[in-house]
Amino acid sequence: MWFLLLRWTLSVCVLTVSQHASAVDMYEGDHFLLPCEFPTFELDDPTVAWSRYDLSPSTVHQHQQEGDDLKNQNQLYRDRTSMRTDALETGDLSLNLTKLQLSDSGTYTCSIRSARSEKRLTEVQLSEVMLFSMFSTEQFPSWAKALLVLLVLLLVTGVLLVHFRQYFMSGTSLLLHYP
């Protein structure tokens, strides 16, 4: 039980999110909506792409009229991104990023492509601030395990001595007769 308690780990990753000089603290495991809006109703066959150009492949999420197109998505974001199904109709091109990780730090670019042009709409910066652990994620060193076992043995011995103290202190002796 103690071994399991001492192995418990709490990691917190704090990310600063900035766009136009605003900042929000995010924690590892949280989700965040990366904002992007653009009137897409005038475009022919538009495609919105969220990218991080420091990664290869750079695609974080791509959405077309038919729905999400994730075949070129960077595997770091697999099953962690989504957009509204009606994004291209409403112009709300925001990206929902879930299960935030320390590796999510970087600059995200929202772009829109059509048959005639491509335009970068917005950039959102996720900056790493802090990562700490309450307890080490490494296994206990062998000396700590041995000390824990020794302490448990001493505790059990002490309990047994207290329980049988009357037997040891009574002065009564046991006589054995051999035939």
Q: Which tens digits make up the pLDDT trace of 118-150?
A: 888 889 887 763 333 334 444 567 777 888 889
Q: What DSSP string describes the chain?
A: -HHHHHH---EEEEEEEEETTEEEEEETT--EEE--B---TTSSS-EEEEE-TTSSS-EEEEEETTEE--TT--GGGTTTEE--TTHHHH-B--EEE-S--GGG-EEEEEEEE-SS-EEEEEEEEEEEEEEEESS-SSPPPHHHHHHHHHHHHHHHHHHHHHHTHHHHHS---------
Q: To the nearest whole number, what is the mean pLDDT of the chain?
A: 77
Question: Of 160 and 132, which is predicted with more confidence?
Answer: 160
Q: Is it the case that residue 21 has pLDDT exceeding 50?
A: no
pLDDT-wise least confident of 20-24, 72-76, 146-150, 162-166: 20-24
Q: Is it the case that residue 17 has pLDDT exceeding 80?
A: no
The mean per-residue pLDDT over the stretch 150-161 comes to 89
Residue-wise pLDDT for 34-72, tens only, equals 999 998 878 888 999 999 999 999 999 999 999 999 999
pLDDT recorded at residue 145 = 83
Fold designation for 11-133? Immunoglobulin-like (2.60.40)
